[in-house]
Amino acid sequence: MPETHQPDTSGRVRRLWQNLSGQDPDLRLETRWQKFMAFWGLHVPPPGRQDRLHIRPRFFKVLGTIAVFVPLLLLGTAYKVSTSPLLCNQCHIMKPYYQAWKTSKHNFVPCVDCHYPPGFRDTLWVKYQALAQVAKWATQTYSSKPFAEIEDASCLRSQCHSTRLLQGKVTFKRGIIFDHRPHLEQPRRGRQLRCTSCHSQIVVGTHIEVTETTCFLCHFKGQKKARELLPIGGCPLCHQPPKGNIQLAGGVVFNHKEFVDERGTQCQKCHLDAIQGDGEAPRERCLTCHNQPEKLVKYEDHAFLHDFHVAQHNIECTRCHTEIKHRIQTKKEPLAVGCEACHEAKHGGQRSMYLGVGGKGSPSIPSHMYTARVDCVACHITPKAEDLHRAQFTGQTFAASEAACVSCHGKLYAGMLDTWKRTLDFMLADLTPKLEAARRAVGEPVKDGKALAEAKRLLAEAEFNSEFVEHGKGVHNVFYAADLLQRVNATANRVMTLLGKSPITLPRENVIRGGYCATLCHSQAGVVFKPEVKFDKRVSVPHQKHFNQYGAVCTDCHSPDTHKAVTITAQGCQACHHSATNDKCTTCHAAQAGLYAATLETALPVKQAPNIMAGKVDCVGCHDFTKKHSVAAQAEKCTQCHDKGYRDMVAMWQEQVGGAQKAAKAALEKGEAALASAKKVRRDPAAASDLLAGARKDYDLVVKAKGLHNPDLAEAILTESKKAAERAVALLQK
């Protein structure tokens, strides 16, 4: 096999290197490359030599030096970049801020010079914050709502504005005079201001420049009314009136000096419309920064909100408040001030009455018409001025008419409007002597100062409600008006009681106390006054007797503001019926009274004898309404007159009646079951049926009357009932 020759690659490379460098390649490596690597602590053998790579201690020293100084170099570079305004422009959310700064008067001042106060700017914490912003930018975790606070020290340091600003007045644009000292050194509206309270951090196209809206908000908010303008400090505090002549429409020349300086004419005589906006702070604006319920509930705490946002965290006023504008209206409609400038708060009482708000001590009771979205024009349909020719000059007013009532509710409501007016007039007239008596009582000397102070407060409340109904025209919300007058009556009584005097009784007090529903509406609208109604779906209540005989009124049991709603509870009924002054127990407890006095009408013949205490001890002699009723409580009541052995006697009576009741019940159930079986086979013995009916009636009567009211008679009736049931069973078994 012929010998194979391998190409001499190393020889070619060597010759090529020699041709390019003009010398021996091995010598070049030895003198340059190897020396360079040896400098860093690495011995690299030349090609072709029997040697190997060596790492010397110097290499580790060099590597350690690089590990220390390279991160420091990178860290320093990052810090330098972080303090540059160019970095701020890298986040897209910061571009508007950056552009505003770049075009402002502060574009030569780096951002950090203002955003970090002197003495704090070069601390490690600031360095950390700056690097943290770089990290947030790199990881895209920055907030979409940036916010920064500028301390006053950043503005007032010697290299910038210094404190010379506090030593005199300056002239703002358009000749407006401004003094920094009172704004920064003294609280304004009770709050301590800061530089950025007026020099906003970001306005469209500007940066840290005066925000006039903030000035207007402070000076004008709450100071403008329909007829006057009273800015804080007055108009001349900020600017003087023009000195030269002003050319008005029609060639008229006007000079402010003649009116303002010589005659003392107020600016608002001509410039009341120079203020637009009210500067309110809508609740919705809180949501742009907060969504925590515990923070949103502080919306009404104005003192806290201003201390926290303005004094502590320097939030601009316009972040919360709507804009107030201040400029002279050169192009406007003639007499565009509005009717309220001369007709101030007209019909305010009628409006509040219709809405059912504003009364003292009364809940909100909107008119039923208002809840149905009926507006004023629905009832006020009759023009007062019949002369239409004159009306074109004097205007027209529309009065309420009964025709509006009838057109919606039908002829049944004819005359109801007049009834309302007369009834409310009667109620107001009846309350007049009560209020006069209360005024006289308050004017007399009283030893108890606290009682007198409370009486004066209540009297003022009652007088307010009375005047509210009178001047607010109670017919706009007749049930709210009647409820207010009911409270006037109760409050006047309370005043007299506090001062140790007897309240005056009124002739129509039943209506004033709450019986106005029937008088104002039900009787005329044809509402049926039911003799009896069901309470709690199970108890029959004598409806008419409560009103006609017992002295109750509608609002004792029914809501004055929610139609047909029953507000009385079982406890409320007990509070009335079981009061200390109520001695008409037999009205509701006729069965108990009949058993006690032996006047029950039984179906079966029974010899009746009254309880031995009947005629000597009335109901409250044994029943204590202040305690929960029970046999144990009744037994304890007995010991107040008798010896302690009567506790056991009551238990014996209960066992006596209970045994008779149990036996009678068993006999009745057996007899009724036998009667039902007889009817199934078409047998209907009348005698057995009559016996069972009488026995059942007497049994139920004793159960309702509570046998303890007359144990002997109760046992006798139950025994006779049992015997009748047994005779009926015997008849059915024949």
CB atoms within 10 A of CB 557: 22
pLDDT at site 440? 93
Q: Which two tokens stand for residue 658?
A: 């209970």
The DSSP symbol for 365 reads: -
Rank 14-18, 82-86, 256-260 by mean pLDDT and report only the highest.
Answer: 256-260
The structure tokens 């309702």 sit at 704
In contact, 288 and 315? CB cutoff 8 Å: no
The structure tokens 């509070």 sit at 575
The band of 79, judged by pLDDT with boundaries at 50, 70 and 90, is low
Q: Which of 400, 494, 397 is nearest to 451 (CA)?
A: 494
Q: What does the DSSP assignment read for 373-436?
A: T--GGGTEEEES---HHHHHHH---EEE-HHHHHHHH-GGGTTHHHHHHHHHHHHHHHHHHHHH
Q: Measured between alpha carbons, how far is residue 188 from residues 146, 162, 168 in Å?
A: 28, 22, 18
CA–CA separation, 62 and 60 (whole Å):
5
Question: Is residue 549 scored above 70 in pLDDT?
Answer: no
CA–CA separation, 182 and 232 (whole Å):
13
pLDDT at site 63? 77
In contact, 320 and 281? CB cutoff 8 Å: yes
Residue 575's Cα: distance from chain center in Å? 33
In contact, 516 and 550? CB cutoff 8 Å: no
pLDDT at site 691? 87
Q: What does the DSSP assignment read for 232-282?
A: TT-GGGT-PPP-SEEE-GGG-EEEHIIIIITS---THHHHGGGEE------
pLDDT tens for residues 469-493? Answer: 999 999 999 889 988 998 999 999 9
In contact, 149 and 313? CB cutoff 8 Å: yes
In contact, 99 and 148? CB cutoff 8 Å: no
The band of 3, judged by pLDDT with boundaries at 50, 70 and 90, is very low
Task: Tell me which of 161 and 348 has the higher pLDDT.
Answer: 348
The structure tokens 């202040």 sit at 626
Cα of first residue to Cα of last residue in the chain, in angstroms, is 146
- Per the DSSP assignment, residues forming a β-bridge with 253 are 247
CA angle in degrees (0–180, nearest 5) for 402-423-350: 60
CA–CA separation, 663 and 728 (whole Å):
15
Question: Is residue 719 scored above 70 in pLDDT?
Answer: yes
CA–CA separation, 596 and 439 (whole Å):
51
pLDDT-above-70 percentage for the chain: 81
pLDDT at site 352? 92
Q: What is the mean pLDDT of the chain?
A: 79
Which residues have CB under 8 Å from 624's CB, separation 6+? Answer: 633, 637
Residue 87's Cα: distance from chain center in Å? 47
CA–CA separation, 244 and 266 (whole Å):
18
Q: Which of 559, 375, 367 is nearest to 477 (CA)?
A: 367
Name the amino acid, one letter, at 370. Y
Name the amino acid, one letter, at 302. H
218: left (phi over 0), alpha (psi -120 to 50) or beta: alpha
| Radius of gyration for the alpha carbons in the chain, expressed in angstroms and rounded | 49
Which residues have CB under 8 Å from 338's CB, separation 6+? Answer: 226
pLDDT at site 468? 95
Rank 199-203, 551-555, 725-729 by mean pLDDT and report only the highest.
Answer: 725-729
Q: Which two tokens stand for residue 161?
A: 């504005």
Helix pair angle (124-139, 57-82), 10° resolution: 90
Q: What is the pTM of this model?
A: 0.51
CA–CA separation, 299 and 290 (whole Å):
11
Determine the length of the chain: 734
The DSSP symbol for 32 reads: I
The band of 25, judged by pLDDT with boundaries at 50, 70 and 90, is very low
The DSSP symbol for 725 reads: H
In contact, 356 and 480? CB cutoff 8 Å: yes
Which of 57-66, 236-245, 702-711 is least confident? 57-66
CA–CA separation, 405 and 425 (whole Å):
20
CA–CA separation, 399 and 395 (whole Å):
13
Q: Name the E strands within 125-192.
A: 169-171, 177-179
pLDDT at site 28? 47
Question: Is residue 458 scored above 90 in pLDDT?
Answer: yes
The band of 428, judged by pLDDT with boundaries at 50, 70 and 90, is very high
In contact, 702 and 661? CB cutoff 8 Å: yes
H or E stretch at 62: helix 57-82
Q: Which two tokens stand for residue 367?
A: 């008119």
CA–CA separation, 88 and 80 (whole Å):
13
74, HSE (Cβ side, Cα atoms, 13 Å): 6
Three-class SS state of 325: strand
CA–CA separation, 224 and 333 (whole Å):
20
What average pLDDT does range 248-264 have in this prediction? 77
CA–CA separation, 295 and 115 (whole Å):
27
Q: Which two tokens stand for residue 644?
A: 């302690």
CB neighbour class for 717 (10 Å; exposed up to 12, middle 13-18, buried from 19): buried
